[in-house]
Every structure is written in structure tokens, then in C-alpha cells.
């Protein structure tokens, strides 16, 4: 085979390997920077997440794209995903998260007043005034959900509401879960990082082999 053709082939492979290695490096560095900034600016990160959750609560019923996004995020965040259905229709789109953290709202269960349907004021004409989603309701694993226990709970005192729903906010519950599962979180992060690091190293080795072949 013509040496010039071999040389061109080697150059093409080298360029592609360099591009692949560069892309992996950028992705890895971006993830590392995000992780570091999230740790350093944890309060700001919490505030940003709080704003997102507030938006999700406000548009809980009327933004299908946001519901789908929340479903995806919450299912990925949970080890267990479940669906509670009433008349064969999903009664909640965040049941997986609630099963995991046993929480309701961002700060607490009264956050659901941000939603126009669940708003707990006298001027709200909705039949769901002062209610919370079914995913906030407590139940034994073998029990079916009683849909009536989620109505009117925002108007109840904390101790009374705690008899039928999860009253703690997801912010504190998520923080507690992360603190109690640091080894698991670290393992997941390491599991994501190692393949990327291995890919970068293998790409560099391939580039070195191609360069040696071109120089020989």
C-alpha cells in the first residue's frame, strides 16, 4: 500500500482521536466545575432549585412539558418509582420522589398554595382549595390511596396534617438523604467519572501509537 495513503489514514485517525479525547476532557471538566461550584455555592444552588420547584408547583397542572421533565428528574432521582391512578389516570406525577424522601412541597406542605388549584385562600373557588397532591399522602405499603385525606390539609395545623400527609419539605429531606448516603453518592460520581477518565487515557494512548507509527 502507498505510504502516502497510510500516512493520510494515520493523520485522520489521529485527528479523530484527539477530537474525541478533547470532547471527553471538556465534558469531564465541566462536570467537575459544576460539582465544585455546587459545593462552594450550596446556598445559591439550593435557592436555584427552590425557584425551579416553585415553578413546577405553580405549573403543576398546565405545563405538560414541565410535568414530563419533572417526571424524568424525579424518576432518575428515586430508587423506587410508582404511579397512583384514579380511574386509570395518573393521580400524581411526582410519586416516585415522595416515596423516596417522604416530603411535600419545597419548604413544607403549605408551598402548594403557590398553585392556583391548591391555593388555600377564601377567594380560591377551586374544589381542591387547601389540598395537596396525592403524592404527599401517607399510606402503608399494602394500602390503596384514600384520595379524601389530601383535601383541606393546608388549613390544618402541622401535627394534625402529619396524620395524613408528609409535612416536611423536600429541600431538607433531600439534604438529609444526601448526607446519610454520602458513600452511595460518591460511588455514583466515581462511577460516572471513571469511564470518562478511561476514555481520555485510551484516546491519548491511541494518538501516541499513531504518532509512533507515522514516525517509524
Does residue 200 register a pLDDT over 80?
A: no
CB 90 within 8 A of CB 84: yes
User: Please, what is the average pLDDT of the chain?
Assistant: 73
Q: Place 36 in a pLDDT band, splitting at 50, 70 and 90.
A: confident
CB 171 within 8 A of CB 106: yes
| pLDDT tens sequence across 159-177 | 999 988 888 888 888 788 7
The predicted pLDDT at position 82 comes to 36
Does residue 22 register a pLDDT over 90?
A: no
Does residue 115 register a pLDDT over 50?
A: yes
Q: What are the start-end ranges of the H helices in the chain?
A: 3-40, 42-58, 64-77, 95-101, 158-161, 170-180, 182-215
CB 130 within 8 A of CB 120: yes
The predicted pLDDT at position 209 comes to 74
| pLDDT tens sequence across 120-137 | 999 999 999 999 887 788
Q: What are the DSSP calls for 34-76, one per residue?
A: HHHHHHHTHHHHHHHHHHHHHHHHHTTTT-HHHHHHHHHHHHH
The predicted pLDDT at position 124 comes to 95
Does residue 4 register a pLDDT over 60?
A: no
- Taking the C-alpha atoms of residue 55 and residue 48, their distance in angstroms, rounded to an integer, is 11
| pLDDT tens sequence across 58-108 | 988 888 777 666 555 443 344 333 333 333 333 444 444 444 677 888 899
Amino acid at each position: 500500500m502507498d505510504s502516502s495513503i497510510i500516512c493520510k489514514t494515520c493523520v485522520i485517525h489521529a485527528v479523530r482521536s484527539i477530537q474525541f479525547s478533547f470532547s471527553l476532557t471538556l465534558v469531564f471538566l465541566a462536570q467537575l466545575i459544576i460539582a465544585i461550584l455546587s459545593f462552594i455555592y450550596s446556598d445559591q444552588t439550593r435557592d436555584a432549585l427552590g425557584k425551579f420547584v416553585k415553578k413546577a408547583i405553580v405549573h403543576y397542572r398546565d405545563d405538560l412539558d414541565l410535568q414530563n421533565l419533572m417526571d424524568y428528574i424525579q424518576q432518575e432521582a428515586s430508587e423506587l418509582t410508582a404511579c397512583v391512578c384514579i380511574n386509570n389516570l395518573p393521580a400524581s406525577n411526582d410519586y416516585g420522589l415522595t416515596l423516596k424522601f417522604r416530603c411535600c412541597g419545597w419548604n413544607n406542605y403549605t408551598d402548594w398554595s403557590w398553585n392556583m388549584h391548591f391555593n388555600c385562600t377564601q377567594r380560591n373557588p377551586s374544589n381542591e382549595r387547601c389540598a395537596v397532591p396525592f403524592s404527599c399522602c401517607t399510606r402503608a405499603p399494602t394500602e390503596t390511596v384514600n384520595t379524601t385525606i389530601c383535601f383541606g390539609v393546608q388549613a390544618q395545623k402541622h401535627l394534625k396534617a402529619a396524620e395524613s400527609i408528609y409535612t416536611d419539605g423536600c429541600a431538607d429531606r433531600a439534604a438529609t438523604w444526601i448526607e446519610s448516603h454520602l458513600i452511595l453518592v460518591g460511588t455514583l460520581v466515581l462511577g460516572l467519572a471513571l469511564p470518562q477518565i478511561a476514555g481520555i487515557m485510551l484516546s491519548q494512548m491511541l494518538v501516541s501509537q499513531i504518532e509512533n507509527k507515522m514516525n517509524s
